Structure 1
Amino acid sequence: MALWDRFKESASNMQTQLNAKKNDLKSGAFRDASMAMCALVSAADGTIDPAERQRVAALIGTNEVLQNFPALDLQRRFEDYLGKLTADFAFGKVAILQEIAKVQKKPTEARAVIQIGIVIGGADGDFDKTEQAVVREACYAVGLNPQEFDL
């Protein structure tokens, strides 16, 4: 099986796992960490491409697990996190990783946030090295081994 096919299958499996845990993923910390992860993956290379911003916003709006939360609230949080990254990428990244780390004590939420990052990163067909690197950093922030996610 080609690497890309394995990745697509893995991302699909992660989305299935997320959907199965939807009822356990309703906390404000999960909501905030998920939007922080989406913003971090969107801006992984230090820039925020308008097309990628729109694509991620659309994915947020259609992700079954994230439908536990009001769409406008998610959009506002996503845009706020992107704003932090735009103002000062290095400082914004630190703040975002701190937000993601708030789910560290809840392993189900921590894994779900990482899985959302992987799903978002691979949605365009290319989970590139910079996206993998920020998701790997998020793994460390929540106390999970990146190898668990093939990172």
Structure 2
Amino acid sequence: MALWDRIKESASTMQTQLNAKKNDLKSGGFRDASMAMCALVAAADGSIDPSERQRVTSLITSNEVLRNFPSDELQRLFDDNCQKLTSDFEFGKVSVMQTIGKVGKKPAEARAVVQIGIVIGGADGDFDKDEQGVVREVCFALGIPPEEFDL
């Protein structure tokens, strides 16, 4: 199977798993951590270009699980996290990782945040090394073996 197909299949599988847990993923902590993860994946290479920001915004508003929350709220959280990461990537990353870390004591939410990162990273068919790297870092921060997600 071509790499492109494996990436698309993995993102699709993650989305299916997320949809199955939709009713369990309604906490503010999950919402905040998910938007932090989206921004982190978007900024994985150290910057966020406008087209990438728009693509991630479209994915956020169309994601079935994230529809548990008002889209304007998600947009604000995503933009706030993007701002932190673009003004000073390393300092912003610390803040974003702290937000993500808050779901660490809730295994279902923690795994769902990782899955959101994989879905966002793989949505364009190119889950690149930088994106994989930040999702792997999140796994370590949440105490989840990256191998669980083939990272």
TM-score w.r.t. the length of structure 2 is 0.98
2:14 is aligned to 14
Partner amino acid, structure 1, of 2:57? A
1:77 is aligned to 77
RMSD of aligned residue pairs (Cα, Å): 0.7
Instruction: Name the count of aligned residue pairs.
Output: 151
Partner amino acid, structure 2, of 1:114? V
Partner amino acid, structure 2, of 1:119? V
Task: Indicate if the aligned counterparts of 1:38 and 1:116 stay in contact, CA closer than 8 A.
Answer: yes
1:100 is aligned to 100
Task: Indicate if the aligned counterparts of 2:33 and 2:103 stay in contact, CA closer than 8 A.
Answer: yes
Q: Quote how far apart the aligned CAs of 1:3 are.
A: 2.2
The unaligned stretches of length 5 or more in structure 1 are none
Listed one character per residue, the Cα deviations across residues 74-120 of structure 1 (whole Å, up to 9, x for unaligned) are 00000000010011100000111111010011111000000000010
Listed one character per residue, the Cα deviations across residues 63-84 of structure 1 (whole Å, up to 9, x for unaligned) are 0000000000000000000010
1:50 is aligned to 50
The unaligned stretches of length 5 or more in structure 2 are none
Task: Indicate if the aligned counterparts of 1:98 and 1:141 stay in contact, CA closer than 8 A.
Answer: no
**Alpha-carbon separation, structure 2, partners of 1:88 and 1:138:** 19
2:111 is aligned to 111
Identity value in percent: 75
**Alpha-carbon separation, structure 1, partners of 2:138 and 2:106:** 14
- Tell me which stretches of 4 or more aligned residues in structure 1 moved more than 6 Å: none
Partner amino acid, structure 2, of 1:113? V
Task: Indicate if the aligned counterparts of 1:33 and 1:103 stay in contact, CA closer than 8 A.
Answer: yes
**Alpha-carbon separation, structure 1, partners of 2:18 and 2:111:** 9
**Alpha-carbon separation, structure 1, partners of 2:123 and 2:14:** 12
TM-score w.r.t. the length of structure 1 is 0.98
Task: Indicate if the aligned counterparts of 1:60 and 1:66 stay in contact, CA closer than 8 A.
Answer: yes
Q: Quote how far apart the aligned CAs of 1:4 are.
A: 2.0
